[in-house]
Amino acid sequence: MSGYQPKKRKLTAEINVVPYIDVMLVLLIIFMVTAPFVTQGVDVELPEMSNTKSAQAMAGEDPNATFIIVEIDKDGNLGLSVDNQDVRRPMSMQEVITNVKAELSIKPNSPVAVGGDASTPYAEIVLVLDELSRAGVSKVGLLTDLKE
């Protein structure tokens, strides 16, 4: 057995980087998916509009249409006005939805508008718009002041 020599193995110190690449790709995908949802809040003063439509333009050619306004004050209290009558308030969300649907069942071409006080939280207005949409009111406008 003099001719037999054990083979020497050379030790190599290598790092397998494939798992790290996989982890980095997963993190990249997570950041790309969540990036659109990360928003920063800033205080803004909403602009007035110069090209607003009048109530008659929103109603179209229907002379029998009434103008329905859902109002929200800065405390989130709801009110309802039909054809510029005095605002009935305070009302619950269900009462507002019921009255709007009743008016629209009588005169279906009536425009519906949501008006909020300048200091009304945006979430309150979105909540009213969502409830009107779920109740089947498809066309809703927002009240704005005419820009001078």
For residue 78, the domain's CATH number is 3.30.420.270
**Which of 77, 147, 90, 62 minimizes the C-alpha distance to 119?**
77
Looking at the 3D structure of the chain, how many domains does it have?
1
Domain annotation covers residue 132:
yes
Question: Is-contact 65 111, C-beta < 8 A?
Answer: yes
Range of 111's domain? 55-143
* Residue 6, preceding peptide bond in cis (omega within 30° of 0): no
Cα end-to-end distance, the chain, whole Å = 108
Our CA dihedral for 79, 133, 64, 50, rounded to 10 degrees, sits at: 80
126 is a domain residue: yes
Question: What is the model's pLDDT at position 41?
Answer: 41
Is 124 a domain residue? yes
Residue 19 falls within a domain, yes or no?
no
* Residue ranges of the chain whose pLDDT lies below 70: 1-4, 38-64, 86-87, 89, 144-148
Global model pTM greater than 0.75: no
Task: Dump pLDDT digits (tens) for 87-103.
Answer: 676 788 888 888 888 88
Q: Is residue 10 included in any domain, yes or no? A: no
